[in-house]
Amino acid sequence: MSFSIPEPFSYNDSFDVGVDSINEQHKRLFDLINNVDSNRSDAAAVKELLDYVVFHFKHEEDAFDRFNFADKVSHKKTHDDFVAQASAVKEINDDVIAFVKSWLVNHIMGSDMQYGETLRGMK
């Protein structure tokens, strides 16, 4: 299933996974993607986004271990695949921006929503 990409591209309550720290990180990812979109030739903006993606994924995966999330192996593979794809990008263009926006929205709505119930006790 594919979810619609909000326009303008910004976090809204439909992306709430029920874990405040992860919601805040998702908001930051939306902001960083918009920053890269506005500054496509800025290598520092791209690096900041990729570094934050890795930080965010690690935060989620650590929580999966702590709360024994049943789908953690599959979810981590999805994270690893995205990092590999994003790291291989040589030039930021419309297709790359569309891919990253779509990936984030569909990942939150399709995958991250599945762990909300398990991780609700997380601070």
Cis-peptide, bond into residue 6, ω within 30° of zero: no
Q: Digits of tens for pLDDT over the chain (123 positions)?
A: 789 999 999 999 999 999 999 999 999 999 999 999 999 999 999 999 999 999 999 999 999 999 999 999 999 999 999 999 999 999 999 999 999 999 999 999 999 998 887 887 665
Determine the pLDDT at residue 122. Answer: 62
DSSP per-residue letters across 66-79: HHT-TTHHHHHHHH
Determine the pLDDT at residue 121. Answer: 65
Determine the pLDDT at residue 41. Answer: 96
What's the token pair of residue 89? Answer: 């990008």
Sign of CA dihedral 54, 55, 61, 65: positive
- Domains of the chain, by residue range, sit at 19-119
Q: What is the DSSP code (8-state) at residue 8?
A: S
Determine the pLDDT at residue 123. Answer: 52
Determine the pLDDT at residue 117. Answer: 78
Q: What is the pTM of this model?
A: 0.94
Please give the CATH topology (third level) of the domain spanning 19-119. Four Helix Bundle (Hemerythrin (Met), subunit A) (1.20.120)
